[in-house]
Structure 1
Amino acid sequence: MLPVADDFEYEYRGCDIVYGRGCVDRLGAYLADRGLERALVVCGSNVGANDDLMEPIRDGLGDRLAGVFDGTTPDKRAESAFEVIDAMRDRDADALVGVGGGSSLDIARQASAFAADGRSLADLRTAARDGEVDSLAADRDPDDRPPVVVIPTTFAGADVSAGGSIEVLPADESPTGHPVSARGSAMPVADFADPELFETTPTSALAGSAMNGFDKGIETPYARDADPVSDATAVHGLRLLTDALPRVVGDDAGGTEASDPEAMDRAVVGSLLVQLDRKVSVVHAFGHGFARRYDIQQGAVHAAVVPHVLRYLFSKVDASRDLLATGLGIDPEGRSDEVAEAVVERVAEFRDALGAPARLRDLPETQREDLPAIAEFVVDDPPMARAPEGLDPTAEAIEAVLREAW
């Protein structure tokens, strides 16, 4: 069993990572130290109604709690971000605290970017129809953005990030027939990672997010711009997640709630590590390709495709197979001809232990006839620029991978 510290703090690209059981007790003191008086909590309705989760946050904020906006949804529409901005003004809040999974954290961050950008939703939609939506508030001083604190409660790995696209124009209003999104850079000032709060999240929600976070560790070592530092955090994060996640949300979890606090601690630390210097690449491009077509959970797509994507990569390039093997608990020494298949098998075993979808056809949103169009989306998706050196992906090759995963 890999040990982790009981608590620690670490500064990463301007974000203070605060880890430890009960660390949300320090929320109010943290805001006070930064001269922030009133914080609006941003979350979804299920999180807002979860008193076991919300009570420690309310207590931690104390008299700095300005109110709760619990209207975020998984589809991450721009309307939600503008509603958050209105709620901030109504409650005279000077900070945002995003709580929950990736959608809520993205809405909180992008509300900060929208607020600094200054354009109305109508203005942004007009720009989207004209094909002119670009980065929000790109020319603004970061200090003009309302500061955001994030409190993750799932393993999606969306907390230590400055991004998170928000849909500005739905597909049925878009000139291209596909949704148009906008995003700004709004790195959180702090990430409070409290394992006790993860334990209040239903196991089904944790399992649904697990493959998304896990695949950040899988992708970083083979990305063409990987380096020894990103390799180190990804590999150690994978070691923790491979050991801990099945005990928290998989076959070994033993119930509807997390029953192994030590495993939860390792899972939360692992989910933090795989985000540091992460290099999202081919697997995420596959997930984005499906998101262009359907309203679908990224983790479910990742679960179905990742063994097939890895087999495709290994058939063409090295793709850092020995590093991945080490992260997955496989000794690569003397197994140069076998290590690639061992990695693929271990990833599939891990996915199956989590009870995640194994085939694309198991996802109710997907249609086999859409695979050629999705392959075109995948090839053109920005993360494909990080594909391993020497890989020359084509739409035909991607479609073949999708058909294997079907």
Structure 2
Amino acid sequence: MHDSDSVWEFAIADRIAFGNGSVEELGARLAGRSVSTLLLVTDEGLLEAGVVDAVRESIPTAIEVSVFDGVEPDPDLEVYEAALEAADAAEPDAVVGVGGGSSIDVAKVTGSLAGTDRELLEYVAPPIGDGASVPESGTTVVAVPTTAGTGSESSPAAVVSLPERELKVGISSRHLYPDLAVVDPLLTASLPPAVTAASGMDALTHAIESYTTRRYDAKPEPDHPDERPDYGGRTELTDLYAEKAIELIGSNLRRAVNNGNDLEARRNMALGSLLAGVAFTNAGLGATHALAYPVAGENHTPHGVTVAALLPAVMRYNASTAFDRYRTIAQLLGENLEGVSDREAGDRAAAAVEALADDVGIPSGLRDLGVEEGDVPRLAEKTEEIQRLLVGNPRRVDREALEEILESAY
């Protein structure tokens, strides 16, 4: 079947409100959905910093608001279970997640699973869980991101940390798409430089991986459920989102990190992150994210920092299968490729990512994240189990290839 004959689907959050001051309209949007009780899911830091106040001020007094502020970075089972208990007590019509990807992930799961009897891990794909289907819920779920990077506001997935196994796993379902995403760039203006940098590199990784992931006419049907990809492969539409995201992030991340009050840069980063999120939740990801799960799980490193350390090595490994894609990426990141060969263009793309990460203060390799050379075989073995991500990688990867990438990223 040729590309022109292929059939693909495209999914997104039910509604997206984007722009400076868009959070001020949240109350009216909730009223339009007949919401009378609401659970606001966030973390203590945002609550104390007053960021949550900007959201609460937009909510009419007629709506009863409860707050769960127990979200922590890389939330584990205890955090999710505590949020579900808060929902059982409040019995909300709507759950609003305010914060980074962690708060939004917890809010999505809470809105979907409150009142169910199953254990949370049953919804995780094998071999960790049973891969149970997430039920459709009547609870309205709203995502209000305060970072520009995770894409959780446009994603049908949530990440759960399992520190006792030194692992992160995901729950994925179309029922985890938020009913409404309110993306107000002004909420990101107070982000410290390090968080701005890490979340921005995460968004760039989403864009680059979705732009270079495999393109297939239908999802493969492997023998094991966990080998089935989360999403459907890149399409003409996801390419448009990814290309614009790469351009926006590449030309604005340095500005946002070095001057948090540069509202134009903040707006462009928020838009780039949103577009990258839409792209990867439809096209899928690849080896960078697969490798990041065990690396971050063992070394407790921020996700954005982890993928930034891995991405250049993965790009160099993959470039030989998609020279045209990596040439375009290099150009979108500002590289002049006149007279440059395809092979060198692929290296230029990876070098441009390295330069961007270095300019915004991200560690340049796995060594700086605490990874030791002796860890490589074990990390490769753990990564090989995450076939739902590896199956979308443009170049085939086996244990030996994963070790090669890790050693290159070291």
TM-score normalised over the length of structure 1: 0.85
Q: Taking structure 1 as reference, are residues 135 and 108 closer, same or farther at Cα in structure 2, changes over 3 Å only?
A: farther
Contact 1:134 1:183 in 2 (8 A): no
The 1:376–1:318 alpha-carbon spacing in structure 2 relative to 1, beyond 3 Å, is: farther
- Residue 14 (structure 1) shift: 4.2
Aligned equivalent of 1:380, options 381, 385, 392: 385
1:161 CA drift (Å):
0.6
Quick check: 1:152 aligned with 2:145? yes
CA distance in 2, matches of 1:325, 1:131: 38
SS in 2 for 1:300: helix
Q: Which amino acid aligns with 1:405?
A: A
Q: Partner of 2:266: helix, strand, or coil?
A: helix
Matched-pair contact (CA < 8 Å) for 1:116–1:145: no
The 3 A distance-change label for structure 1 pair 308 and 372 is same
CA gap 1:322/1:190 in 2 versus in 1, 3 angstroms:
same
Matches within 5 A, 1:207-218: 207-218=197-208
Offset at residue 44 of structure 1 (A): 1.2
Percent identical pairs in the alignment equals 29
**How far apart, in 2, do the equivalents of 1:131 and 1:223 lie?**
24
- 8 Å CA contact 2:167, 2:293 repeated in 1: no
Matching of residues 326-341 of structure 1 within 5 Å: 326-330=331-335, 332=337, 334-337=339-342, 338-341=344-347
What's 2:72 paired with? 73
User: 1:44–1:70: 8 Å Cα contact kept in structure 2?
Assistant: yes
Residue aligning to 1:201: 191
Q: Which of 392, 399, 406 in structure 2 is aligned with 1:395? A: 399
Please state if 1:134 is matched with 2:127. Answer: no
Stretches of 4+ moved more than 4 A in 1? Answer: 177-182, 331-334
Structure 1 CA distance, aligned partners of 2:113 and 2:168? 15
Q: Distance in 2 between matches of 1:56 and 1:363?
A: 35
Inter-CA distance 367–116: structure 2 relative to 1 (3 Å threshold): farther
- SS, match of residue 404 in structure 1: helix
Please give the secondary structure, in 1, of the residue aligned with 2:59: helix
Preserved contact between residue 95 and residue 139 of structure 2 (Cα < 8 Å): yes
Give the counterpart of 2:252 among 240, 244, 254: 244
Structure 2 partner of 1:8: none
Displacement after TM superposition at 1:315 (Å): 4.2
- TM-superposed deviation, 1:150: 0.6
Which residue among 276, 279, 296 is the counterpart of 2:278?
A: 276
Name structure 1 gaps, 5 residues minimum: 1-10, 172-176
Paired AA for residue 183 in structure 1: I
1:39-188 equivalences under 5 Å are: 39-51=38-50, 53-63=51-61, 64-115=63-114, 117-119=116-118, 133-138=129-134, 140=135, 142=136, 144-154=137-147, 155-167=149-161, 171=164, 179=167, 181=169, 183-185=171-173, 186-188=176-178
- Per the TM alignment, residue 82 of structure 1 is displaced from its structure 2 partner at its CA by 2.4
Within 2, Cα distance between the matches of 1:180 and 1:355? 25
Residue deviations 1:324-355 (CA, integer Å, cap 9, x gap): 12332335565333311221221111111111
In the TM superposition, 1:299-338 aligns within 5 A as 299-315=304-320, 317-318=322-323, 320-330=325-335, 332=337, 334-337=339-342, 338=344
| Aligned-partner SS, 1:156 | coil
- Give the Cα separation in 2 of the matches to 1:301 and 1:170: 16
1:13 CA displacement? 2.7
C-alpha distance 314-228 of structure 1, shift in aligned 2 (>3 A): same
Query: Match of 2:207, SS?
Result: helix
Cα pair distance change 1:265/1:136, threshold 3 Å:
same
Distance 1:322 1:36 in 2: 49
Of residues 341, 344, 354, the one that matches 1:348 is 354
Using the size of structure 2 for normalisation, the TM-score is 0.84
